[in-house]
Amino acid sequence: MSWMEWYDSLAKPSWTPEPSTIGLIWQILYPIILVTFGFVFYQALRRQLPWQVAVPFAINLVANLLFTPIQFGLRNLPLAAVDILIVWGTILWMIAAVWKHHRWVAVAQFPYLVWVSIATVLQWTITWWNR
């Protein structure tokens, strides 16, 4: 069965956003991520920012990119739940790490944090209901 048929077959809470809504949210978040992460990596490469500040951004980027293949390729709900928890935790770490250097980058992560917080609760609920 296709990934969409598989996802549709899962037990999900009534408040689960439609796939089109999820896509729209990511269309809003990805430009914010691109600009802020790009800025942090650029500043770290120029040695204008300690490399330790860029570490949570790098981990977050990898974990974020791995979520879709884990969830919809491997169809591994428990691993996807762990992955999204890493995404969520690294957003908090990113905000704390960059706050004293570039507060605007930290503040720009709040929409990402809000969405990933909702998505984390959703993922863990779906994982629990489909164990």
pLDDT digits (tens, 9 = 90+) for 37-91: 999 999 999 999 999 999 999 999 999 999 999 999 999 999 999 999 999 999 9
C-alpha 66 chain-centroid distance = 10
Q: Which residue has the tokens 């408040």?
A: 15
| Distance linking the first and last C-alpha atoms of the chain | 19
Measured CA to CA, the distance from residue 42 to residue 32 in angstroms comes to: 15
Q: pLDDT of 12-34, one tens digit each?
A: 999 999 999 999 999 999 999 99
Say if pTM beats, i.e. exceeds, 0.75. yes
Helix (H, G, I), strand (E, B) or coil at 69: helix
68, amino acid identity: T
pLDDT at residue 49, as a whole number: 98
| CA neighbor of 5 nearest in space, from 65, 68, 75 | 75
| CA neighbor of 124 nearest in space, from 93, 82, 90, 86 | 82
pLDDT band (50, 70, 90) for residue 111: very high
Q: Is 75 left (phi over 0), alpha (psi -120 to 50) or beta?
A: left
Contact 103, 126 (CB under 8 A): no
pLDDT at residue 30, as a whole number: 97
Domain boundaries along the sequence of the chain: 19-129
